Amino acid sequence: MPELPDVETFRRYLDANGLDRTIARTHVEAEDLLEGLTAQGLGQRLKGRRLTATRRHGKYLFAARDDYDGWLVLHFGMSGFLQAVGPGESPPQHTRMTLDFEDGGVLAYAALRKLGLIAWTDDPAAFAAARGLGPDALAIERAAFVQAVRCHRGGVKCWLMDQSALAGVGNVYSDEVLFQAGLHPKRKGNRLGEAEADRLYDALHAVLEAAVDARADPDRLPEGHILPLRGKEAPCPRCGGPLSPIKACGRTGWYCPACQPAG
DNA sequence: CTCCATGTTTAGAA
DNA sequence: CTTCTAAACATGGA
């Protein structure tokens, strides 16, 4: 489920389970996930080393080698996750890459669909720039956000999901942000009033922070969110009316037509 | 068998 | 140039 809150949860999981352990070897099961390096190259970069720090930009997770001369880059596609595996235990299904520690434990990168990415970079910020990523959705300042969204002539849901405009928000969380802001997914950015853009910014941060606190588990979110209801025959938690599907950017979104009227 | 899925990239049409 | 849509990728689940 890797959008920003999921990846932030993985980052904290890696902090707790993957740092300061010497890597004995790496295993790459799915070579096609590697970008710009080979399985052997990954091993050479990490063998005998430790990871000592993490960063996140949007949906990308970075882990620094102990000498800070290079960072492991992970993207989780639609189905990726991390799993720490104890000595003697077997890694999860669909494990695509593992870091095998000298202590006998393993950190597995698993993904049902091979849509993620494993890479290496000297500098996370340069990597993000080279990929054309916009500012991180949790780091962007209010003024920059409001200015950017109000310059965009297209639909606001698509804009929220555009990683070059704002990094970290995907299909699911864009729905939640728009629901909390009370804005229709197809409202045009340049037709938002100042107060509406402000509300969108507030909702963006409230939703992402709540989701990170919930460890990206929909069932752990407080009441009043539509994320756990998507695709189900459930009433809007605010007005009790029916939620509707809507196509945008080639994806299916969910919203409440009563609480999120078209502009 | 069919349709759909938390992402990204690319091609083509307005 | 901007914006939108569909398809492709990989691998299932319903």
CATH of the domain at A167: 1.10.8.50
Task: Note the CA–C1' distance, A44 to B7, in angstroms.
Answer: 29
Please give the pLDDT value at position A137: 97
Residues 6+ apart with CB under 8 A from A204: A137, A145, A160, A169, A177, A181
pLDDT in tens, A146-171: 999 999 999 999 999 999 999 999 99
Q: Are residues A74 and A119 in the same domain?
A: yes
Q: Are residues A18 and A122 in the same domain?
A: yes
Q: Are residues A117 and A161 in the same domain?
A: no
Residue A261 lies in a domain: no
Q: Are residues A91 and A126 in the same domain?
A: yes
Q: What percent of chain A has pLDDT over 90?
A: 97
Q: How many domains does chain A divide into?
A: 2
Band (pLDDT 50/70/90 cuts) for residue A51 is very high
Chain position carrying tokens 């489920």? A1
- Of A130, A165, A182, which residue sits at a domain end? A130
**Which residue has better confidence, A231 or A121?**
A121
Query: Is A251 noted as a catalytic residue in this protein?
Result: yes
Nucleotide nearest to A75 (CA to C1'): B7
pLDDT in tens, A17-42: 999 999 999 999 999 999 999 999 99
Q: Are residues A106 and A10 in the same domain?
A: yes
Q: Are residues A177 and A120 in the same domain?
A: no
Containing A105, the helix (H) or strand (E) segment is none
Question: Which of strand B's nucleotides are less than 7 A from any protein C-beta?
Answer: 4-9
Residues 6+ apart with CB under 8 A from A192: A149, A150, A156, A183, A200, A263
Residue A194 lies in a domain: yes
Q: Are residues A116 and A205 in the same domain?
A: no
Backbone angles phi, psi at A197, to 5 degrees: -65, -35
What is the pLDDT averaged over residues A88-115?
96
Residue A244 lies in a domain: yes
Q: Are residues A25 and A51 in the same domain?
A: yes
Catalytic, out of A59, A65, A131, A230: A59
Please give the pLDDT value at position A33: 96
Residue A62 lies in a domain: yes
Catalytic, out of A49, A238, A251, A257: A251
Mean pLDDT, all residues of chain A: 96
Residues 6+ apart with CB under 8 A from A144: A135
Residue A245 lies in a domain: yes
Domain limits for position A182: 142-255
**Which residue has better confidence, A153 or A234?**
A153
Nearest to A8 by CA among A211, A161, A164, A173: A211
Q: Are residues A120 and A8 in the same domain?
A: yes
What is the pLDDT averaged over residues A185-195?
97
Please give the pLDDT value at position A1: 65
Q: Are residues A126 and A161 in the same domain?
A: no
- Of A95, A130, A165, which residue sits at a domain end? A130
Is A2 near strand B, with its CB below 7 A from some atom of it? yes
Please give the pLDDT value at position A232: 84
Q: Are residues A206 and A97 in the same domain?
A: no
pLDDT in tens, A240-260: 999 999 999 999 999 999 999
Kindly tell me if the per-residue pLDDT of A136 is higher than 90: yes
pTM equals: 0.97
Q: Are residues A71 and A119 in the same domain?
A: yes
Residue A137 lies in a domain: no
Q: At what angle do helices A194-213 and A171-181 cross, to 10 degrees?
A: 130
- Of A130, A151, A172, which residue sits at a domain end? A130
